[in-house]
Amino acid sequence: MIMTGKNRLSGHPMGLTSHFTLLFMAFAVFVAESPNTLLAGRRKDDQRNRKDHDDKTLQSHYCGEICYRFSPAPPVTTGTLQAWFKLTISPADFNIGERSGRRMFVFFHLSKMDSDSKGKSRSKSKRLSTKKLGGTILSLKLCEYRGSLALKTVWNDEIVPKLNIPYDQLGWKVGQWYHVALSWVHSSRRVTLKVYVNGVCLKSYEMDTSFSVSKANALLLRVGKVEGSSKTMQFDSGSLGIIDVVCWTSRVLSDKELKQFGTVPAQCPPSTILMDTFNKVQIRKKSWTKSSLRNLKTRSGLPENGETKPVCGPRGTIYGPAVLVGGSEDAKKGALQLYVDP
Summarised one tens digit per residue, pLDDT across range 56-111 is 233 332 345 667 778 888 888 899 999 888 887 777 777 665 554 566 778 888 98
pLDDT at 245: 77
Question: Which residues, in sequence order, are bridge partners of residue 233?
Answer: 228
pLDDT at 290: 57
Q: Using the 8-state DSSP alphabet, how is residue 238 labeled?
A: S
Residues 6+ apart with CB under 8 A from 200: 259
Residues 6+ apart with CB under 8 A from 342: 6, 7, 8, 68, 69, 70, 273, 274
Residues 6+ apart with CB under 8 A from 293: 313, 322, 324, 334, 336
Q: What are the counts of helices (DSSP H) followed by strands (DSSP E) for the chain? A: 4, 22
Mean pLDDT is lowest, of 72-76, 302-306, 320-324, for 302-306
Question: Is the separation of the CB atoms in 156 and 134 below 8 Å?
Answer: no
Average confidence (pLDDT) over 1-28? 29
Q: Is the per-residue pLDDT at 221 higher than 60?
A: yes
Domain 22-340: top CATH class:
mainly beta
pLDDT tier at 285, thresholds 50, 70, 90: very low
Average confidence (pLDDT) over 282-286? 33
pLDDT at 127: 36
Instruction: State the Cα torsion 286-309-248-156 to the nearest 10°.
Output: 60
Burial class (CB in 10 A: 0-12, 13-18, 19+), 137: buried
Peptide bond into 314 cis (omega under 30): no
Q: Is the per-residue pLDDT at 171 higher than 50?
A: yes
Name the percent of the chain lying above pLDDT 90.
18
Return the closest-CA partner of residue 167 out of 136, 141, 138. 141
DSSP letters, 21-50, are -EE-SS--EE----GGG------SS-----
pLDDT at 201: 94
Question: Is the separation of the CB atoms in 20 and 278 below 8 Å?
Answer: yes
Euclidean distance between CA atoms 240 and 107, whole angstroms = 11
Residues 6+ apart with CB under 8 A from 83: 107, 108, 179, 180, 181, 223, 243, 244, 245, 246, 247
Q: Is the per-residue pLDDT at 112 higher than 80?
A: yes
Name the percent of the chain lying above pLDDT 70.
44
Q: What are the φ and ψ backbone dihedral angles of 296, each rounded to 5 degrees?
A: -65, -45
pLDDT at 153: 95
- Of residues 301 and 61, which shows the higher confidence score? 301
Q: Is the per-residue pLDDT at 198 higher than 50?
A: yes
pLDDT at 174: 87
- Of residues 19 and 257, which shows the higher confidence score? 257
pLDDT at 250: 93
Mean pLDDT is lowest, of 21-30, 213-222, 288-297, for 21-30
Q: Residue ranges of the alpha helices (H) in 17-150? A: 130-133
Contacts 24+ apart (CB under 8 A), 168-175: 170/197, 172/87, 173/87, 174/86, 174/87, 174/88, 174/89, 174/90, 175/46, 175/86, 175/87, 175/88
Average confidence (pLDDT) over 136-144? 88
pLDDT tier at 289, thresholds 50, 70, 90: low
Mean pLDDT is lowest, of 6-10, 201-205, 276-280, for 6-10
pLDDT tier at 179, thresholds 50, 70, 90: very high
Q: Using the 8-state DSSP alphabet, how is residue 318 labeled?
A: E
Q: Is the per-residue pLDDT at 336 higher than 60?
A: no
The rounded Cα 209 to chain-centroid distance in angstroms is: 25
pLDDT at 163: 96
Q: Is the per-residue pLDDT at 202 higher than 90?
A: yes
Average confidence (pLDDT) over 203-226? 78
Q: Is the per-residue pLDDT at 220 higher than 70?
A: yes
On the CB side of 20, CA atoms within 13 Å amount to 24
Q: What is the mean pLDDT of the chain?
A: 61
Total Cβ atoms within 10 A of residue 114 = 15
Q: Is the per-residue pLDDT at 249 higher than 70?
A: yes
- Of residues 193 and 56, which shows the higher confidence score? 193
